[in-house]
A and B are shown apart, each in its own frame.
Chain A
Amino acid sequence: MQTFPCPFCGPRDETEFHFAVEADHPRPENTPSDVEWAAYLYTVDAPQGPAREIWLHIPCGEYFVMSRNTRTRDVTGSEALR
């Protein structure tokens, strides 16, 4: 079981977190084409190695950006959305 750092609550068990979405994929707006919209909904990079992801810490309800290495499972950073 991994330990993730919530920027508000500190290190907590993996079971307290939900993966939300990959970071840096802005929502297309103002009537995007079907292709753009489908890419937003369904395409993920799923990188092996360094990744920037948005996670949710369920007990405090805060979404935050976590940088981690999906191969080694090292967590390299964690920051609030703003």
Chain B
Amino acid sequence: MSGWRHPDLGTEIDRSKPLTAKVDWTKIHGFHGDTLASALLASGPRTIARSFKYHRPRGLYGMGAEEPNALFDITRDGTTIPNERATLTPLTDGLKARAVNASPTAERDRARWLDLLHRAIPAGFYYKTFMAGGWHLYEPRIRAMAGLGRLDPNTNPPADTPARSATCDLLVIGAGPAGLAAAKAAAEQERAVWLIEDGTSLGGALRWRGGEIDGADWTDFARATETAILNSDGRILTNTTAWGAFDHSLIAAWQRGPDHDVHWRIRPADTILATGAVERPLWPAQNDLPGVMSAEAAHHYLTLYGAVAGRRILIATGSDASYATAAAFAATGAKVTLADARDATPAAPDGVRVLSRQTLRAVHGKTETWGATLNDQFHSADAVLVSGGFTPSVHLHCQSGGKLDWNAEKDALVPRPGTSHMKVIGAANGTFGLGPALAEGATAAGGLAPDTPDGTNWRWHPARPDIDASGRIWIDLQNDVTLKDVKLAAREGFTSVEHLKRYTTLGMATDQGRTSNFPGLAAMADATRRSIPETGTTTFRPPVRPVPLSVIAGRRRGDLFNPLKRLPLEDAHRAQGAVFREYGGWLRPSAYGKDEAAAIQAEAEAARDTVAIYDASPLGKLDIIGPGAPALLDFAFYNRLSTLKPGRARYAFLLRESGIVFDDGVVLRPSENRFIVSASSSHVDAVRLLLEDPRQGRFDPSQVAIHDVTQAWTTLTVTGPRAPELLAAVGIDVDLPHMGVAETTWGDAPLRIARISFTGDRSYELSVPLRQGPTLHTRLDVALGAVDGRWIGLEAVMILRAEKGYIVIGKDTDGLTMPHDLGWGGPRDTREDEYLGKSSLFTEAAMAADRRQLVGLSTTNVVSTGAHLVPLDGPRRSLGFVTSSYQSPNLRRPIALALLEGGAAMQGAEIGVFHNGAVQRARVTKACAFDPEGERL
């Protein structure tokens, strides 16, 4: 028990509001304003986590997204979110946290014996060992042991994250001193500035280090910045992480709100990146012990939360910057020793013992730190705060294509100017210290540098892992990668940083290698006797820190994932007992009645016996209007349409340039210069765009227009022998020939009647404007009883059309079907003029005799759709497949359609239908099984 709560300190906590949470079933206490990490640190227990591979005891290391150890499954208000970082989790009352990688608790983890095997399980151990018999034999047990968080199947995170888009003149990412200075300078020039900050409030390191700007406390400067931004139409978002930089300067940002989160897509004219830097650790033996912490993080916990890391504190550093940290700890009454790597050190702060020329060689302890070896001397300490310099956070610069350059003077990889669209300033650019950061920030936005008396020299003594050192030295704490593993990778030839990463998993954890990439790279450079720039860097990819998928998905879940189109008459159908299913993006009645299977058969029978009505509103209605319409349609369609007489309709195919059938349907010509293309209901949008292509690219677009009016009309199709009777009863005149079209009126409303049939019986498509739909529905429904008819769903229509051998594109055709495979070779043989796909119909492949052609099948049982057709003798191979298969209530036998190799020439032949290992015999027939003469039309 070493961490403790200072009685007075803590700028962020409200001591009048105590909170209680449970971590691994143990109660901890904290205050409003605490993070889970600060509350854990203040309440003392050191082993709060277990490591990923060796299950070593681990404590808190950092303060933000770089935290490699303190990962928990967090349950809040009944919702569990796995793998949250304690450092980024606000403490709330009643919060429950469970350490990941540990069972039952981090302190008493059952798998802690694994560490004893560490010599036997170096990097690559799993790849090399679990080969015999296949990885899948070993995977379940290894996965159970390895780990990260547990997903709670009962948890359904709310899908309430709205996505919002925004633009601004300047986006400043990061509200530390550099970001504040840039935002203020730009806002004062009346630019709309958006300032986004990952933390809970503005200030960055100023929040714990403090500072004086322009002759006053820094908080005045922050407030002035806030005012300037709000006065110039800007916006400030705290608790917001810019997690990804995408094409054309798009920034994705995740704002965590008290009620719900917001996912922002911000497109700024200019972007300034001021994301700061992350402190590097040091690399003594046993550097992963609980009690070893980033010095900067410890300083942050002390000032903001009054959470003190220990009572006997050793600070190992090589920079003047840590002296303020030492002074802050000494002021709490803790015993503080500062071990500086340099010869020349600044004056010791009050109460701090300063030692120069010190190298931290080892940390001692078992589950917590009790001391450390400096040079060859043991020093007692219960907290070892380390500072090995800083690594600029350049993720977003690199994500947008930016490059890095090694800067030996700054001892860091810094952004190469001009390689991304962002200006990078402050610590993210390797510019440390309050004065230089403020100056760089203000200058980047065209302002004057604010004044500060702070002259701290932030240059540090370069620290690197010593590849000859003995003991176990961790490079990547989160993925448990040691210096030995890096050396092993170098020996085995994985010397490229990208190979090193994949072989050892270094930097691949959810901390994105914030504390490990640099030392890993430096150790590899050392082991292969190369320089750091020669060794290179790995690629930065979004997200900058883990973002819940529920945030990215936003509201596009459930019914909103891919919303269906709904019929205007849906309620009326439901009132009649309709069962609804999806057909090509539309929710349509499949049948009317509780027993769907029986209803389908009864409906299909009634449609042949008396009369039936179905809702055909989704059927495409593309108006093609103008004097150029005939020429456009002649080119776009396989069948000639300019010869169609006004008042008539014609069945036609639409091909792609590849000659493959794209859609079929009836084209109506109500008048000389107006056509209506009835595209398949799932294909309307695509057909419109397919027609727009030649309209704009080949013809004079001023002579013809395409207008999709599909959803402006209700279409009810009346089909069956008693259809004329029913229509007469509702006062609709049906004096039309087969394939005739009439535009008339019904009462005051326009009515279009098309006598075209998809069922094989006499059918009338009645189209009225949406507003008249309910009236038409009601009038037909009332008259239906007298003629013994009924409403039918799509499934019955499917049976009726299959009895007639009428195809559905995409079901009875595939990506190879050409019109002559369906028995429509006529236009190909007779048309001389150009049309879409023409040249593709005359290639060798298109003329082959063994193409798959549409046939019918006569079988004793209903065969399975998709079943392959095979020869009855000889070697078995697929000759095609069943595309549609139903029990026909009207023929009282099964019917099927199929695509069969050379099928057109095989009428009457016997063939096998292969399904689930068994072969059933079938006879090849014509596709049309019912009323082949078409007498009922």
- A residues with CB within 8 A of B: 1-3, 14, 18, 20, 27-29, 31-32, 34, 37, 40-41, 54, 56, 58, 61-63, 73, 81-82
Contacts and interface: CB of A to CB of B under 8 A. Distances in A.
Nearest to B685: A58
Contacts of B265: 1
A41 B657 contact: yes
B361 interface: no
Interface in B829-847: 834, 839-840, 842-844
Contact of B689 (A14, A34, A58): A58
Given A31-B839, A58-B689, 7 more contacts: A34-B843, A34-B844, A37-B843, A41-B840, A61-B689, A63-B693, A73-B247
Contacts of B815: none
A44 to B, nearest CB: 14
In the A-B complex, list the 10 residue pairs whose CB atoms are closest, starting with the nearest.
Answer: A2-B247, A37-B839, A2-B248, A3-B248, A63-B696, A61-B692, A1-B250, A81-B696, A73-B247, A34-B843
Nearest to B252: A1
Contacts of B658: 41
B843 A1 contact: no
B697 interface: yes
B113 interface: no
Contact of B688 (A18, A34, A61): A61
A58 B246 CA distance: 22
Interface string B684-724: 00001100110011000100001000000000000000000
Given A1-B246, A3-B248, A28 B692 contact: no
Contacts of A63: 692-693, 696-697
Contacts of A3: 248, 250, 267
Interface string B647-683: 0000000000110000000000000000000000000
Contacts of A61: 688-689, 692, 706
Nearest to A56: B689
A29 B834 contact: yes
A1 B247 contact: yes
Contacts of B689: 18, 56, 58, 61
Contact of B248 (A1, A20, A29): A1
Interface of B: 246-248, 250, 265, 267, 657-658, 688-689, 692-693, 696-697, 701, 706, 834, 839-840, 842-844
A49 to B, nearest CB: 15
Contacts of B267: 3
A54 B842 CA distance: 28
B410 to A, nearest CB: 29
16 contacts: A1-B246, A1-B250, A1-B265, A3-B248, A3-B267, A18-B689, A29-B834, A32-B839, A34-B844, A37-B839, A41-B657, A61-B706, A63-B692, A63-B696, A63-B697, A81-B697
A81 B248 CA distance: 25
Contacts of A56: 689, 692
B840 A37 contact: yes
A37 B658 CA distance: 10
Contacts of B706: 61
A56 B247 CA distance: 19
B696 A20 contact: no
A63 B692 CA distance: 8
Nearest to A37: B839
Contacts of B250: 1, 3
A34 B840 CA distance: 8
Contacts of A28: 839
B926 to A, nearest CB: 33
A1 B267 CA distance: 10
Contacts of A54: 697
Contacts of B246: 1
Nearest to B165: A13
A12 B246 CA distance: 15
A64 to B, nearest CB: 9
Contacts of A29: 834
Interface-central residue, A1, A14, A58, by most chain B CB under 10 Å? A1
Nearest to A64: B696
B265 to A, nearest CB: 7
Nearest to A72: B401
Contacts of B697: 54, 63, 81
B556 to A, nearest CB: 12
A61 B706 CA distance: 10
Contacts of B247: 1-2, 14, 73
A18 B690 CA distance: 12
B844 A20 contact: no
Contacts of B843: 34, 37
Contacts of B657: 27, 40-41
Identify which of B657, B658, B839, B840 gathers the most chain A CB atoms within 10 Å of its CB. Answer: B839
B838 to A, nearest CB: 9
A56 B688 CA distance: 12
A2 B690 CA distance: 25
A58 B689 CA distance: 8
A38 B246 CA distance: 37
Nearest to A13: B165
A73 B248 contact: yes
Contacts of B844: 34
B379 to A, nearest CB: 55
Contacts of B688: 61
Nearest to A30: B834
Contacts of A58: 689
Given A1-B265, A3-B267, A20 B693 contact: yes
Nearest to B843: A34
Contacts of B839: 28, 31-32, 37
